[in-house]
Amino acid sequence: MKFLKTFAMSEKNVNLHVYFGKLWKVFEMERTEVKSRRKSKVEEKRGWEFPLDRQNLIWLGIGVVVILVGYLLMSTGISEEPALIDGKWNSFMAVTLAPIVLVIGYCVIIPFAILRDFSKKNKTEE
What is the residue-level pLDDT of the chain in tens, covering all 126 positions? 454 455 555 555 555 556 666 666 766 777 777 666 666 555 566 677 888 899 999 999 999 999 999 999 988 877 766 666 666 667 788 889 999 999 999 999 999 999 998 876 555 555
- Domain limits, the chain: 2-45, 54-125
Residue 109 contacts by C-beta under 8 Å, 6 or more apart in sequence?
Answer: 59, 62, 63, 66
Strand segments, DSSP code E, in the chain are none
| pLDDT value, residue 36 | 66
From the number of C-beta atoms within 10 Å of its C-beta (0-12, 13-18, 19+), residue 53 rates as: middle
Helix (H) or strand (E) holding 46: none
Give bridge partners of residue 89 from the DSSP assignment: 83
Could you tell me the pTM of the whole model? 0.56
